[in-house]
Amino acid sequence: MRRGPRIGLLGGSFNPAHGGHRRISLFALRALELDEIWWLVSPGNPLKPRQGMAPLAARVRSAMDQARRAPIRVTAIERELGTRYTVDTLAALRRRYPKRRFVWLMGADNLAQLHRWKDWRGIARSMPIAVIARPGYDGAAVASPAMAWLRRFSVPLSSFVNRGEWSAPALVTLRFDPDERSATAIRRADPDWALRYAGPPPRDQLTHRSISSGEETTAP
């Protein structure tokens, strides 16, 4: 018998969120037969320059705008959890929501640099990983040190979806028509995009608490 909802976790700066995030999420939702996707909007990422990073509240609002009328929840729960690293965030989520079954959604660009993340093997051991193809990064991802270790845990999509119990490490690769939209290109074309999302603090769709902007930094 199937236990608990299946939740896909997609982390990122969402600076800003865009249609590519939505399209990837809905594709993963269908392919993996998930119940929901949670967008984990990071307070900050030291692997990305702080210059040009919009306030957290604006990034959350942009994500909520893109997630409308979809089974996607937008959350900045990392700030509430007080976790600095992804491995700690995922462990805290598993403790807080023990009845959910999580899968970590990751673009091929992130897989290419996963070996730079703190305790990346701990991330892989904590929950299955679904890697989503991204233009220009597949070669680097396949050749990455993390993939050299993860390759032995690769699982066909059909096997991953149909097994009653999810275990980790497990790696499944999702391929679909690539979406070339990027937050970098949006910022170049519209550097003042965040001004459209000014206003009172939005309410977290997972914790239901107000989200204000601050100086916290979250590492991968």
pLDDT in tens, 170-207: 999 998 776 777 888 989 999 999 999 998 999 999 99
Q: What is the DSSP secondary structure assignment for residue 38, as one 8-state letter?
A: E
* Mean pLDDT, the chain, whole residue set: 89
What is the H or E stretch that residue 57 is in? helix 56-67
Nearest to 16 by CA among 220, 201, 181, 218: 181
Q: Give the Cα separation of 174 and 130 in Å (integer).
A: 7
Give me the pLDDT at residue 141, please.
Answer: 83
pLDDT band at 46 (very low <50, low <70, confident <90, very high): low
Residue 202 contacts residue 210 (beta carbons within 8 Å): yes
pLDDT band at 212 (very low <50, low <70, confident <90, very high): confident
Asked if the model's pLDDT at residue 1 lies above 50, the reply is no
Give me the pLDDT at residue 140, please.
Answer: 81
Average pLDDT estimate for 34-55: 82
Give me the pLDDT at residue 50, please.
Answer: 65
Lowest mean pLDDT among 61-65, 161-165, 171-175: 161-165
Give me the pLDDT at residue 97, please.
Answer: 96
